[in-house]
């Protein structure tokens, strides 16, 4: 019987626990168990006797196989593949036999250290062949070891070990066969195929589908779809396992019965909105008018290396990327199911099925073996699958290309760098399924005329950014817009309509309206630097909502009286790690500099619910909107908050800075944060603290406004969240967006309670979307709000409308309107009052 054998340190170095290696491929154990060393020498040696089975083309990694079949990977540093061999000299070649301690490669430590992510060198058991790691020698992480010292000990396989690394799962018995005629009107498409795969998993059977001479494993979504089965086709189902008959019952019911909803019809449904002939309707996310050619936006793919490292490392990297995307999809799926969004849940289930498709993984592994990187291999495997789907001639299957492209992009994003931004024609109306905040920002820089999104909500971050830039935008249009590229269209983001191919007269009339608006905007901009004093003598501060220093400069040019909301979370989004203290300080300081002494309100990091960070995974809870978000995050992420507060306390002048806390539900949270701020200020030698305020976003805060106002320096009402929490309507749900109205009497009563509770204690402002709504802002001021914070482009118009408002007279009407049924009724009354002719 074989005895245990020892694996030696391949060099002098400091021992590092594998889980502490700053590379998830190694730290997560994807490549296998092992240890790592922080080198104190310049030569890697063989950790045991064996044969060299692989040398990386770029010389940075060697794989060795022992006499007992154990394969060991010695990987010099992290990301050293990018050096392309520079500073590394390979001393062995594949097929060569070596003894323990023999030199494998030599490297220039200074050169490699300057260009690589790290010199930490993992020693991995890539293929144990039944051997078991039983100890890591006598050293511990942080100890210095010498080359040749034992760092791992392995015990040989025993009779209990499964041959060939076999599966310990009990053998499944039983086989059943059944013929089925497809009753699916659209044939076998992605959703029923994904469900077929789920049946096999839930019943713990091997399920096979036979059509003609072709046998397909139901686990492979791509192979199922490539059969091209249509309504009326005959297929044979074969199930193997203890629940084979039950699985066939489920599968037969799925395939033979008509679907409850027709996927072909639902793909072209028009949103429930008033649209005339030839028009498409959506919800207004950012008001405005536009005329221009239509342009279909297709997001570019992330940039990935073409050539790969050694195949084992690339396959492991691909596994990690797939696992990360799988986790993200399952989290989104859970939230969709709990929110009752069944259609979204079905799409996510289909995405998960694609992701777990063994045929796609097999194809990607084949490309890896031919020398591609993990990212390039995944790209080419999905390119091939897209081509196959398009070649079927089945319109419904070809429509699944968008799903595959989405998965292609998600996985590649975890294996490469951010893509370049696609070019958009100037003055085009951009059409897209949806956009990320970073995509919207990049698009806006190219000056499109407007944007139309299939998905999205009126209070999403994309909507917020569009309003900040004065970019007309419709969302939740609910259908793929199939108009021809370059076709002229009219976008009316006031009535919520897109009209492709309008009559020439309609085009000219809209162009004249736009020109007239521009002339009025120019006149308003000329007086925007003057105070906004209402007709009855109240001066209202009109500030700006911004995402950073660049928008703050625009706000200053538009005549902002200050920054009423700097959304600091935008600095944390679309990146793989939190910004440093210096990065934050630079961005916040730019905003203060832009405002030249006027007040700047920075909201502390507001993450959770609809705002997620890839590097800060939050627990999957039944209702994320009511879970850990805003100020509640700081109990578990104190270091993140401390770094943000340190950055804020380093600003100059601190007298212009205001710090605002999101999602406060009670005065205890305010007290705890103030105490933390005072402690950090003391450590930093800061004697004067900035003002500290809270957002009123939940009903409890509005009802306890008096208590909060007694200890806060200011209150700011976040009408977006206050409306959704009061009405119990998800602000990200397009189906509810039309009913989510800040003028609902229940919401207005809470705003009134806030103003009355804070009276004589501290000022009250509004920083939600309602502050820029022509009807809502009039009501807010009439209720007693002293500051409105809006997107920079809205400042001149808001100031102009305030100067025409008699807030006192409107206030006399409000008590009766607060008794009305809903927001639509209030909105109608306010509109009629504002448009009524003034009587002498």
402 and 453 housed in the same domain:
no
CA 586/CA 572 separation, integer angstroms: 14
Nearby residues of 482 by Cβ (< 8 Å), 6 or more positions away:
none
What pLDDT score does 718 carry?
94
The pLDDT tens digits of the residues spanning 659-705 come to: 999 999 999 999 999 999 999 999 999 989 999 999 999 999 999 99
* Domain extent at residue 471: 280-299+421-521
Does 653 sit behind a cis peptide bond, omega within 30 degrees of 0 on the bond before it? yes
Lowest mean pLDDT among 39-43, 529-533, 826-830: 39-43
Please indicate whether residue 138 or residue 440 has the higher confidence score (pLDDT). Answer: 440
Asked if residue 488 is part of any domain, the answer here is yes
Backbone φ/ψ region at 324: left (φ over 0), alpha (ψ -120 to 50), beta: alpha
Range 241-261 burial, b when 16+ CB lie within 10 A, else e = bebbbbbbbbbbebbeeeeee
Residue 182 sits in a domain of what CATH number?
3.30.1340.10
The pLDDT tens digits of the residues spanning 342-352 come to: 555 666 777 88
What pLDDT score does 641 carry?
87
The pLDDT tens digits of the residues spanning 409-437 come to: 889 988 887 666 688 888 999 998 777 66
Please indicate whether residue 235 or residue 461 has the higher confidence score (pLDDT). Answer: 235
What values do phi and psi take at 796, rounded to 5? -60, -45
What pLDDT score does 821 carry?
92
Asked if residue 214 is part of any domain, the answer here is yes
Range 88-111 burial, b when 16+ CB lie within 10 A, else e = bebbbeeeeebebebebbebeeee
Mean pLDDT of the chain: 83
Nearby residues of 393 by Cβ (< 8 Å), 6 or more positions away:
228
Asked if residue 448 is part of any domain, the answer here is yes
Task: With CA atoms as reference, report the closest residue to 646 among 614, 685, 616.
Answer: 685
567 and 711 housed in the same domain:
yes
Task: With CA atoms as reference, report the closest residue to 664 among 742, 738, 718, 713.
Answer: 718
Residue 459 has pLDDT above 80, yes or no: no
Please indicate whether residue 359 or residue 619 has the higher confidence score (pLDDT). Answer: 359
126 and 246 housed in the same domain:
no
Residue 28 has pLDDT above 50, yes or no: yes
CA 451/CA 463 separation, integer angstroms: 10
Please indicate whether residue 74 or residue 142 has the higher confidence score (pLDDT). Answer: 74
Residue 745 sits in a domain of what CATH number?
3.20.20.60
The pLDDT tens digits of the residues spanning 161-182 come to: 443 433 333 334 568 899 999 8
What pLDDT score does 378 carry?
94
545 and 500 housed in the same domain:
no
Task: With CA atoms as reference, report the closest residue to 225 among 377, 328, 65, 354.
Answer: 354
| CB of 604 closer than 8 Å to CB of 641 | yes
573 and 481 housed in the same domain:
no
Residue 62: which H helix or E strand, with range? Answer: strand 61-65
Averaged pLDDT for residues 791-806:
92
Domain boundary among 379, 413, 447: 413
Place of tokens 């189906």: 735
| CB of 159 closer than 8 Å to CB of 208 | no
Q: Residue 169, SS3?
A: coil
Residue 52 sits in a domain of what CATH number?
2.70.70.10
What pLDDT score does 779 carry?
97
The pLDDT tens digits of the residues spanning 301-322 come to: 888 899 988 898 999 999 999 9
CA 660/CA 631 separation, integer angstroms: 10
Domain boundary among 377, 392, 413: 413
661 and 795 housed in the same domain:
yes
Nearby residues of 25 by Cβ (< 8 Å), 6 or more positions away:
31, 313, 316, 317, 320
The pLDDT tens digits of the residues spanning 773-785 come to: 889 999 999 999 9
CA 184/CA 169 separation, integer angstroms: 35
Catalytic residues: 461, 767
Indicate the DSSP class of residue 422: P
Please indicate whether residue 184 or residue 508 has the higher confidence score (pLDDT). Answer: 508
| CB of 659 closer than 8 Å to CB of 604 | yes
CA 642/CA 630 separation, integer angstroms: 14
What pLDDT score does 168 carry?
36
Beta bridge partners of 61: 75
CA 305/CA 280 separation, integer angstroms: 42
Cα distances (Å, whole numbers) of residue 764 to 38, 541, 691, 709, 722: 56, 11, 14, 9, 15
Residue 463 sits in a domain of what CATH number?
3.50.30.10
Residue 41 has pLDDT above 90, yes or no: no
361 and 244 housed in the same domain:
no
Q: Residue 407, SS3?
A: helix
Asked if residue 820 is part of any domain, the answer here is no
Residue 469: which H helix or E strand, with range? Answer: none
Beta bridge partners of 303: 417
Place of tokens 């977006």: 720
With DSSP H G I counted as helix, E B as strand and the rest as coil, what are the percentages for the chain, rounded to 5? 40, 20, 40
Q: Tokens for 665, please give them.
A: 């539900």
What pLDDT score does 385 carry?
86
pLDDT tier at 488, thresholds 50, 70, 90: very high
185 and 210 housed in the same domain:
yes
What pLDDT score does 350 carry?
76
Q: Tokens for 778, please give them.
A: 């009039």
What pLDDT score does 597 carry?
95
Q: Residue 108, SS3?
A: coil
What pLDDT score does 392 carry?
65
| CB of 790 closer than 8 Å to CB of 768 | no
Residue 73 has pLDDT above 80, yes or no: yes
495 and 392 housed in the same domain:
no
| CB of 467 closer than 8 Å to CB of 793 | yes
HSE-up (13 A, CA, CB side) for residue 255: 28
Averaged pLDDT for residues 716-738:
81
C-alpha torsion sign, points 327, 328, 330, 331: positive
Averaged pLDDT for residues 539-563:
93
Asked if residue 120 is part of any domain, the answer here is yes
Asked if residue 330 is part of any domain, the answer here is yes
Judge if pTM exceeds 0.85. Answer: no
Backbone φ/ψ region at 369: left (φ over 0), alpha (ψ -120 to 50), beta: alpha
Cα distances (Å, whole numbers) of residue 575 to 486, 549, 572, 615: 34, 18, 7, 8
The pLDDT tens digits of the residues spanning 182-194 come to: 888 767 866 687 7
CA 789/CA 785 separation, integer angstroms: 11
Count up the domains in the chain and report the number: 5
- Residue % of the chain over a pLDDT of 90: 42
What pLDDT score does 556 carry?
94
Residue 479 has pLDDT above 60, yes or no: no
Residue 2 has pLDDT above 70, yes or no: no
Q: At what angle do helices 719-727 and 745-758 cross, to 10 degrees?
A: 120
199 and 135 housed in the same domain:
no
The pLDDT tens digits of the residues spanning 83-122 come to: 778 889 999 998 899 999 999 999 988 788 777 777 889 9
Task: With CA atoms as reference, report the closest residue to 415 among 305, 329, 313.
Answer: 305
Please indicate whether residue 329 or residue 732 has the higher confidence score (pLDDT). Answer: 329
The pLDDT tens digits of the residues spanning 118-143 come to: 788 999 887 787 888 877 766 676 77
765 and 665 housed in the same domain:
yes
Listed ranges 252-261, 486-495, 571-580; the one with the highest mean pLDDT: 486-495
The pLDDT tens digits of the residues spanning 375-415 come to: 999 999 999 988 887 676 655 555 566 677 778 888 998 88
Cα distances (Å, whole numbers) of residue 807 to 522, 561, 724, 813, 823: 25, 20, 26, 10, 20
Nearby residues of 171 by Cβ (< 8 Å), 6 or more positions away:
none
Q: What is the 3-state secondary structure (H, E, C) of 314-371?
A: HHHHHHHHHHHHHHHHHHHHHHHHHCCCHHHHHHHHHHHHHHCCHHHHHHHHHHHHCC
What pLDDT score does 163 carry?
38
What pLDDT score does 807 carry?
94
What pLDDT score does 837 carry?
72
- From the centroid of its chain, how far is CA 450? 23
Asked if residue 829 is part of any domain, the answer here is no
Neighbours of 381 (CB within 10 A): 27
CA 408/CA 375 separation, integer angstroms: 9
Number of H helices, E strands in the chain: 27, 35
What pLDDT score does 738 carry?
66
Domain boundary among 165, 191, 207: 165
Asked if residue 305 is part of any domain, the answer here is no
CA 608/CA 529 separation, integer angstroms: 37
pLDDT tier at 272, thresholds 50, 70, 90: very low
676 and 779 housed in the same domain:
yes
Residue 250 has pLDDT above 60, yes or no: yes
């Amino acid at each position: 019987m074989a005895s245990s054998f020892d694996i030696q340190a391949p060099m002098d170095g400091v021992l590092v626990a594998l889980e502490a290696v700053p590379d998830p491929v190694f730290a997560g154990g994807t490549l296998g168990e092992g240890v790592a060393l922080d080198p104190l020498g310049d030569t890697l040696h063989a950790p045991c006797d064996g044969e060299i089975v692989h040398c990386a083309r770029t010389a940075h990694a060697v794989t060795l196989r022992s006499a007992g079949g154990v394969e060991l990977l010695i990987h010099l540093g992290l990301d050293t593949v990018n050096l392309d061999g520079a500073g590394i000299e390979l001393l062995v070649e594949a097929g060569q036999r070596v003894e323990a301690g023999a030199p494998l490669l030599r490297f220039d430590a200074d050169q490699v250290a300057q260009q690589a992510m790290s010199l930490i060198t993992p020693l991995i058991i890539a293929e144990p062949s039944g051997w078991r790691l039983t100890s890591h020698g006598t050293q511990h992480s942080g100890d210095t070891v010498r080359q040749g010292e034992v760092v791992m000990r392995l015990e040989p396989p025993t009779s209990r070990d499964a041959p060939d690394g076999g599966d310990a799962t009990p053998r499944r018995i039983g086989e059943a066969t059944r013929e089925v005629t497809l009753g699916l009107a659209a044939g076998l498409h992605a959703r029923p195929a994904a469900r077929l795969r789920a049946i096999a998993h839930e019943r713990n059977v091997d399920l096979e589908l036979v059509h003609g001479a072709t046998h397909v494993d139901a686990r492979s979504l791509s192979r199922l779809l490539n059969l091209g089965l249509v309504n009326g086709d005959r297929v044979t189902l074969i199930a193997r396992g203890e629940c084979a008959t039950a699985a066939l019952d489920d599968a037969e019911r799925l395939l033979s019965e008509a679907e409850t909803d027709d996927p072909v019809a639902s793909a072209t449904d028009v949103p429930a909105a008033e649209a005339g002939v030839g028009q498409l309707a959506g919800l207004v996310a950012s008001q405005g008018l536009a005329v221009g050619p239509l342009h279909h936006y297709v997001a570019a793919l992330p940039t990935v290396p073409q050539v790969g490292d050694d195949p084992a490392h690339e396959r492991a990297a691909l596994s990690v990327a797939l696992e990360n995307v799988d986790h993200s999809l399952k989290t989104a799926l859970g939230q969709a199911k709990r929110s009752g969004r069944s259609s979204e849940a079905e799409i996510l289930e289909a995405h998960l099925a694609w992701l777990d498709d063994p045929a796609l993984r097999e194809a990607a592994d084949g490309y890896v073996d031919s020398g591609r990187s993990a990212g390039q291999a995944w790209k080419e495997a999905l390119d091939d699958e897209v081509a196959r789907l398009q070649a079927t001639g089945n319109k419904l299957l070809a429509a699944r290309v968008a799903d595959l492209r989405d998965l292609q992009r998600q996985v590649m994003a975890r294996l490469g760098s951010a893509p370049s931004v696609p070019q958009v024609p100037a003055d085009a109306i951009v059409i897209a399924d949806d956009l990320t905040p970073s995509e919207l920002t990049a698009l806006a820089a190219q000056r499109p005329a407007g944007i139309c999104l299939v998905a999205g909500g009126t209070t999403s971050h994309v909507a917020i950014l569009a309003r900040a830039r004065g970019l007309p935008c419709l969302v939740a249009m609910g259908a793929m817009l199939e108009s021809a590229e370059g076709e002229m269209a009219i976008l009316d983001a006031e009535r919520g309509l897109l009209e492709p191919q309008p009559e020439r007269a309609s085009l000219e009339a809209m162009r004249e309206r736009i020109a007239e608006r521009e002339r009025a905007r120019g006149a308003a901009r000329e007086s925007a630097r003057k105070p906004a004093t209402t007709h009855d003598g109240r001066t209202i501060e009109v500030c700006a909502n911004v995402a950073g220093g660049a928008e703050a400069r625009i706000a200053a040019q538009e005549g902002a009286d200050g920054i009423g909301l700097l959304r600091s979370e935008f600095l944390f989004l679309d990146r793989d790690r939190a910004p440093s203290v210096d990065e934050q300080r630079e961005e916040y300081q730019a905003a203060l500099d832009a405002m030249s002494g006027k007040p700047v309100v920075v909201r502390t990091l507001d993450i959770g619910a609809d705002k997620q960070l890839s590097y800060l995974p939050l627990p999957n809870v039944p209702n994320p909107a009511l879970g850990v978000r805003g100020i509640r995050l700081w109990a578990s992420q104190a270091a993140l908050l401390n770094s943000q507060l340190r950055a804020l306390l380093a600003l100059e002048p601190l007298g212009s800075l205001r710090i605002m806390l999101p999602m406060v539900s009670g005065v205890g949270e305010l007290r705890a944060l103030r105490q933390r701020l005072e402690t950090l200020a003391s450590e930093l030698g800061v004697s004067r603290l900035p003002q500290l305020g809270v957002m009123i976003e939940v009903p409890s805060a509005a009802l306890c406004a008096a208590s909060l106002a007694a200890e806060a320096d200011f209150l700011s009402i976040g009408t977006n969240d206050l409306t959704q929490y009061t009405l119990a309507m998800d602000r990200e749900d397009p189906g509810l967006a039309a009913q989510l109205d800040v003028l609902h009497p229940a919401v207005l009563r809470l705003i009134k309670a806030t103003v009355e509770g804070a009276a004589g204690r501290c000022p009250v402002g509004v920083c939600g979307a309602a502050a820029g709504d022509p009807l809502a802002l009039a009501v807010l001021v009439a209720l007693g709000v002293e500051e409105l914070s809006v997107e920079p482009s809205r400042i001149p118009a808001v100031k102009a409308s305030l100067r025409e408002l008699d807030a006192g007279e409107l206030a006399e009407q409000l008590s009766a309107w607060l008794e009305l049924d809903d927001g639509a009724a209030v909105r109608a009354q306010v509109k009629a009052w504002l448009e009524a002719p003034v009587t002498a």
